[in-house]
Each structure stands twice: as structure tokens, then as C-alpha cells.
Structure 1
């Protein structure tokens, strides 16, 4: 029988994919289904089979087998049961990628509790907001973070260290899960600021079934791949696409732990012999600006990115460094992956910078506010057709004459000046092509004549004087339209980022609004 993993090609996907076939990847069904079993236990028969490679920032490489995670997660499940943690209770896990992290996360789900991975770089406010929101029975963390989490009513903070893991050794290494496909398994917080807590996205155990669509066509994972995703498993990309998807397919995955360093990442890609890389746009930019890529040898055959568009200079760097096309993977935490570039497909032309085309079986349109479809080149909102209705994404985009989708920013990133509609993303992309611009962000600011004008915030090693300002304005105007350039430019030391590494335009807009009030 033909398997969905037999080919990466676009025509093959269109011919053979149906949603029902995603269940072929798993042991369970709707009545009996558990993520820990599907991602870990069923692949643990061979004690040497590698599940995760962790590149630690301090230079250590940690190699973790499926068997090690299966045994340790079963012990965690027994430990939770002895503490009275039962099905539906939340278990927060704030640890860097490591055996304790995977044991805790999968152990909670094995028990039938709900795992809540938390970013280890959260400060006290970020921790308390999320813990107060999800009300976990237990928070498993390290000694450094424990003081910031202790004292929250109803939550027991437990330090997971060598002594804790050693004490678990007395517990059994077998635990039989008893969960259904529609039972809740994971709460995942999207990357907002500590003052603006996004609601937790709630995933059931069956969510890993739908996730296979992104694995097949967004990251192009196939048996035999040496996969790596440097995004933290506290965020959607690192958790869903970097952890659950490859492990569910029995594919060894890799990740990064600790303070990010581009040179350390590139050394891991080389030393691990990585053939399939999926990273955030920021990771590729940081590898480019590091300047040391030429000192490494890479074996990458498939490459994908997500999070935000990639500028032209970074796309050029990817092409020159890795020799494979950069395949965008677009979706939202709430609705999943929708637009992909089919990494590894020999019959799919990747248009640099585009979002690609819809995953098999999903209808996607760019629509006007009244719900009618936009014509090629016309900017509208990207919407997905699901369960008989069009679901908004709050992202703007356009299609081209070949049916490829292109991102045009968030709906609140549109700048309307003197009746002209401009995209912050396009302006930023042009600014990033200037040799002296390291980072750029564009927003609309009030103007008494034009309604709004573009203001750009620039990070550069050059002095931000009037001559540089005019140079950047002329540079942008020559590449876009005569009206489409930043009339105001501010030079800054850094740009605010979300915890996931995306440029935080809302924070820039809020700071600019506050500055204008006090000016």
C-alpha cells in the first residue's frame, strides 16, 4: 500500500492525501489515544534508538534515547499519581530541553494530566501571570527559577535536579496511559508580553494527528531525516513542529538549550549531520549576521522557516550557504499550518519569499472585508475555509498570477498614507537590503496632512545622521514607489522582540504613542 511518506512531491501529495489517512501514522484511535505513547513509548523497543539531540549553549551535546524518555516519563507519571495529580490537572514544566524536560512533559500527558511548557527566560511577572491563569497543581522547574514561582497559591513548586531524578529511580518504568483522543493534553501560551497575556491554546491528544499534515508538507519530515529545530519547545514551532511531529514519526529531532549563539547552532548542524532544518526567521538572520557560516560544512537537503517573513538578504544567504530553497511554512497557533512550500518536492517551484500554496485538502483565499476573493496582486486578509465557514487569520496577504500566496503583514501593520495602502513588511524588507542596516521595523504614525506616514526604526553600526536618513529614504523610494518610503527615521540600539524572537511592532507603536503624548 502507498504510504504518505513515500514521496515529498507536490503531485503525489495531491493524489494520495486524505485527512483520514493521517491516522495511519498511529497506534491509537479515538477511544484510546495518548501523545506520550505515540511519540515515545512505541519507538522505545530498541534501547539505542535516538530521540533527541540537544545542543547546549555551553558546548555540551546531550543525546537522549526513546527508551530513556519512556522510562523516565513513566516514573514521572507514577510520581504525579502518588501526589494526587490526576486526569485534567495541569502540570507546568519550566525547564530547558533535556532529559528532565521531556520526561516531565510526556510523563504528565502519560498520567492524563495537562502539560504546560513554560519559557525558561520568563521573569517573575511572566511566570506568575501564566501560572495564575492555568492553575497547575505542580510546577516542575530548576533551582534558578524556583524562587520566582514559589508562593503561588494552589501550586507546588518542585526543583527538578540530579537528586530529584535519582529519587525517581525507585519507581516503575512501565505506565499504561488511559486517555481518549479528545482529552486535553497540552496548554500552550503564544508569545505575548508579560503585561498582555494571550489565552492558552488548548490541545487534545488527537492534535498530534492533524500535526502530521505540517510534518509531511510544511517541514517535509520523512523517515531517515536528521531533523533539527532550534526554537524553544515552550513555543508553538518548537513544541509542535520541532518536538511532537518528528517524534511521532519516529524521527530523531534536535534542539537548542540555553542562550542562543549562532555559531553554536551552526556547529551543531555540522556535527549532528543535520539534513532537515526548520527554524524561525530570526535564527537565519542571526546566522547571516554572525559571518562565520563559511567555516562549517552542512549536509542540509530540506529547509523551512516560520514566524515572520525573511528579508531578501537573508534569503540570499540561505541559498549561498545551504544550497537549498528556503521554504516558508505559514499558519497560526489557533488554526494550524495552512500554506507551505513542500520541502523536498522535486516538482514544486519555490518562489523566494512566498508563503507557497495550501496544504492538501485545505481551501485558502485572500479576501476583501466583504468576503469576496481578491484579484491577483490585491491585498486582503488571508482566510481559511473550515467546517463550512471562512476563518480569519488577521494576517494580510496577496496571491500572484501563479496562485502563490504572499504575506503583507498583520492587519494592524497596514499603513494608509494620503489614500495609499502600504505594507510595513515590504518597506522593512527593502530597508534590510541596505548593507548598513542590521534590523528594521516600520509603523504608521499620525500626520496632520496625510493621516499617517511611515516611520522606520533602524539598528545600524553607522551613525544615524541626516545624510544616512536621506540615503535610506532614497534607497527605499527607488525600489518601491515614490510615495512608499519612511518619511521619518529613528536610529535605535535594538528593537523590542517577543519572547519567540519576532519583532514586536505593537510594542514599538505603543512606545511611539506614549512618546507623542509626553512630547
Structure 2
């Protein structure tokens, strides 16, 4: 039967060929009520789906075993009441409203209520200490900081911001206001300030998103997570960060899809129980989440309904990829991007005509242009490692990542530019050595860096998490295991066994902390 292309929306297409054929920048607008003049994220994600039916919007899997369901109706009413409350308290369009809350009714009420009123939502990670919180507060200068009772005392140590406790008293207060609100925002008005999870800047700079960013997001969401109406979605990443907010929260809700997330200290077994109990069909998570599920050894205790899987944050090692295939029986689809540039490389989950290559970042999001370049700016040949560049603003911009392409045009991540280790003239990839070590049965997690060395400049050092007792014999075994699989010079000359690896709040292994620690130790020895 001939398809009536004109009557179809982007959500009707699942094949890779259709995605490329319909990569029209105008197409995502048809998914929404708003237009280039009037547009509001809260309306598109919540209000227009609140039909009085009590349909679930967010499922919350609490670490303590509790399940909580928030409906579109419930969040819509609370957000509207919160928007009126902001108006009554003199909060003007463009004012920043920061909130440091775990996923909860107050979190979603604040997130969407602030945007509905024309204020700017600033989600903040709940585990920030005083210094981390102060840096962000000083940067965005919010009129209000809304947090829980436990964090309020900490927050009140920062001058110049009014701290509000998000408890039943606040919910009772806003409940006196009308449960509907007519937003007046334009597509070009600012809606969200988003901070990155890294710590590369002493003073983190917010990435500033307008309301129309939701429209821009849709190509990456449709082809990065494969989200479609009818899915039951879950993303355990914190909505304080880019992946958890944009792909785990806003994208599914904008399509009327029920999403889910994790509340409290992450536990892999609790996550798998939630996936089973909620009958989740589509999950997008950090690479670390999948690795922790594998390491738990409990996946066989659960029954899953997964049809689409995606991951982000960092590459997944081959052993974890094998676990995903054996456990969920669907390919693990990488999606690559950053808070600053968004998602730009995807694997089109659910597309039957797209072959997912294990370990690959996939191909560009329709409409995006990427290239792996040599130092002179020329494109590399297949198999050659170079700098991954993105075409933006009529010029090539660096992603600060290394990559290679294959003969079929698939991209592969080869580490951050600063994760390359040059030792005695040899150039080695920290990621490649890590992936090899992770194939060892007794290695649960590992991180590889270049450690200062007086003779070689740098030497490869591996930090290993293992339940096996440390010993010289174990070190030699890991060294031989690596050099037998890579090259004779590619092995960790130094191995340190650790209880855990430092990670960014988004779950990525934080190699910079390890590099700084080794550099400080080397400096101390010379003084």
C-alpha cells in the first residue's frame, strides 16, 4: 500500500531510510501545539496531555523499594498552581528559579511551573556540597532556591538567595491557586539553564536553552533513544543532568509517553525489578548502569519486556555488550553527545534497516554533519584515529574527542583528546586498554591513565576494582592478559587495586581526578 507521506509525522517513521528522507528542520514542529511565535515546554510536555484520565506521566522507582506514580493531571495542576504562586510572589519572566530536589512531585511541579510562568528553571544535583552549590548559585543568581529540608540548612549559608523548603506546607500553599495557567512565552525565550556534570571549569558555565530547544531535541530523541508513542520508557539518569532531563524526561513527556526514573542511591537490582514490574519496553541509561547490572549477577532473576535500549556517557566494554545481548536480546545502541552540543551520533533503536555495530557510536543524527580529521584539518581515512569535529555555525568545531570511522561510515569513540597516553614514543588509547582489562573475569571496573615517569614521560597505570585479593601474581596476570591481546608495549606497567573509581555525578569514570592525583604524587616526590 502506498504511504500518504504528507499525512504522516516523524513519529510514524521508524526506519533509517525514512529518517534520512524526512530530515527536514520543519518536520518536528508538527509534533507540537506551539509554533515559532508562541511555544512553551511545560504546555507541550504536560498540560496538553492532562485529559482527566489520570494517565501516568512519571513512574518513580525509589531505592527503598517503594513505587510512586505521578499523573499528567497531577503534575499539570501543580505546575499551574506553582506558576500562579510565582507570579504572586513577584517572580518575573526571565528570573531564575533553582531547585535541588530528587525526582518527586515538587521537582516536576517546580520544573514545569517555572517554565510555564516564563521564569527559567535551573535543576541542580542533590549531592552538591557547599562549594559546588555556591559556584552555580553565584553564576545563575536565582531569585529562589527550592530544596528539601535536609539541604535547606546548607543552602542558607549562601548569601543573596531565598531558600524555600519543598514540603507539604509549600504544596498546601500553592494549592490555593488556580489549576490552569495560560503561558505567554515565545519559542525564543529562555527556559532552562543546564550545568554540565564535569568539573573542568572552576566556575561552571550554564548551557542556556530556549523553549524551542524541545523542538530541536526531537530528531536526536526519535533516533537516539527510539522513543515513540506507545513506549513505556525508563531512564535512571538524574534529571539534574542533560541526559536525564532532555532524553529521560522532556522528550518522552512531549510525545505523551510515560517515563520513569530512579530516586535515591542507585542499586542495579532495584532497577531491574522496576524494569520488570513496570513492563518497560524502552530504556536509555548510562554505560555505568548496564555495567552495574552485569556485575550484580542477578539479571537472571527477572523477566524483561525490553524492545529498545540505548546508552550514553562513555563507551561500553565488550563484556557488558555481551551481557546486554544475552539478557535483553536487543542491541545496545550508543548515543553520543554532550550537554553543550546535544546528541549528534545515534544508532536508530527500533530501525529494522539499520545494522547496529557493537561498540560503534553509530551515524549522525539526520541533519547533522560530523567528520574525523587529521591535525591539518583533512578528513582521515577509515581506521585512522583523529579529532571528532562537528559542523556548526558554518565552520568545524571540535568535540574534544578522538574517533575513527570505518568503511561503512560508522563512527567509533577513541577517548578524550587528553586520554591519549604517549609513553616512550608509543601512542596508546586509555579506552582500548580499559576494554581489554574488562574482559578479564576478575575485573569488575577499571580506569586507565598516563602516570608521570622520569624515563618514559608517561607510563600506563590501571586502577582496578576487583573482588579478588590483590597480589603481585594478579598484577602480572593482568599485564600479560593485556599485552597478549593488544601489543607488547600496550599494558599497564602500574596497577593499583581500589575499592571504587571516582565518577562524575552523571556516572562517567572521572579520569581527570586520577591524573591530578598521580601528578600531585609525582610532584611531591621531587620536592
TM above 0.5, one fold?
A: yes
Name structure 2 gaps, 5 residues minimum: 1-6
Please state whether the residue corresponding to 1:179 is helix, strand or coil.
coil
Worse overlay, 255-264 or 458-467: 458-467
1:284/1:318 contact within 8 Å kept:
yes
The answer as to 2:20 corresponding to 1:18 is no
- Equivalent residues of 1:128, 1:152 under 8 A apart: yes
Q: Could you tell me how far apart the structure 2 residues matched to 1:448 and 1:262 are?
A: 42
Task: Name the counterpart of 1:346.
Answer: 352
Aligned-pair CA distance for 1:234: 0.1
Does residue 452 of structure 2 align to residue 446 of structure 1?
A: yes
SS of equivalent to 2:26: helix
Matched ranges for 1:251-266 at <5 A: 251-266=257-272
The corresponding residue for 2:315 is 309
Contact 2:464 2:495 in 1 (8 A): yes
1:388 correspondence with 2:409: no
Q: 2:96 matched to 1:67?
A: no
Deviates more, 1:72-81 or 1:144-153: 144-153
Note the 1:468-483 alignment, pairs <5 A: 468-483=474-489
Measure the CA separation in 2 of the matches of 1:188 and 1:516: 36
- CA displacement, residues 373-432 of structure 1 (integer Å, 9 cap, x when unaligned): 011111111111123111110011101122111001101101112322211111001111
2:34 is the alignment partner of 1:32: no
Where does structure 1 lack aligned partners over 5 or more consecutive residues? none
Residue matched to 2:238: 232
Equivalent residue number for residue 169 of structure 2: 163
CA distance in 2, matches of 1:181, 1:167: 30
Work out whether residues 193 and 499 of structure 1, in 8 Å CA contact, stay in contact via their aligned partners in 2.
no
The range that moved more, 461-470 or 266-275, is 461-470
Partner of 1:185: 191
Q: Is the 8 A contact 2:452 2:519 kept in 1?
A: no
**1:321 lines up with 2:327 in the alignment:** yes
Could you say which residue in structure 1 is the equivalent of 2:3?
none
TM-score by length of 1: 0.98
Aligned partner of 1:212 in structure 2 is: 218
Q: Residue 129 of structure 1 contacts residue 194 of structure 1 at CA under 8 Å; is this kept in 2? A: no
SS of equivalent to 1:260: coil
Shift of 1:194: 10
Matched with 1:505 is: 511
How far the C-alpha of 1:192 sits from its partner, in A, is 2.6
1:127 aligns with 133
Please state how far the C-alpha of 1:195 moved relative to its aligned partner: 8.0
What SS is found at the alignment partner of 1:27? coil
2 CA distance for matches of 1:495 and 1:457?
8
Q: Aligned-pair distance for 1:2?
A: 2.2
**SS of alignment partner, residue 324 of structure 1:** coil
Partners of 1:134 and 1:192 in 2: CA distance: 17
How many angstroms apart in 1 are the aligned matches of 2:202 and 2:518? 18
Pairwise mapping of residues 362-373 of structure 1 onto structure 2 (< 5 A)? 362-373=368-379
Aligned: 1:458 with 2:464: yes
**Structure 1 vs Structure 2 CA RMSD:** 1.3
Query: Shift of residue 75 of structure 1?
Result: 0.7
The 2-side partners of 1:26 and 1:188 are apart by 23
Q: Matched residue of 1:365: which SS?
A: strand
CA distance in 1, matches of 2:23, 2:407: 26
Measured after TM superposition, the shift of residue 161 of structure 1 is 0.7
- Maintained 8 Å contact 1:454/1:487: yes
User: What is the aligned counterpart of 2:274 among 264, 268, 272?
Assistant: 268
Secondary structure at 1:297 match in 2:
coil
Match of 1:355 in 2: 361
Whether 1:5 and 2:11 are equivalent positions in the alignment is yes
Contact kept? 1:382, 1:393, Cα under 8 Å: yes
Equivalent-residue separation in structure 2 for 1:348 and 1:67 (angstroms): 38
1:40, distance to aligned residue in structure 2 (A)? 0.8
Partners in 2 of 1:369 and 1:246 — Cα distance? 40
Cα distance between partner residues in 2 of 1:489 and 1:64:
47
Distance 1:301 1:195 in 2: 39
User: How much does 1:56 deviate?
Assistant: 1.1
C-alpha contact 1:181 1:204 (8 A) present in aligned 2? yes
CA distance in 2, matches of 1:194, 1:84: 36
What is the alpha-carbon distance in structure 2 between the residues aligned to residue 127 and residue 448 of structure 1? 39
8 Å CA contact retained: 1:51, 1:251? yes
CA deviations over 1:157-205 (Å, ceiling 9, x no partner): 0001112112221111111111111111001111134983431111111
Equivalent position SS for 2:464:
strand
TM-score scaled by structure 2? 0.96
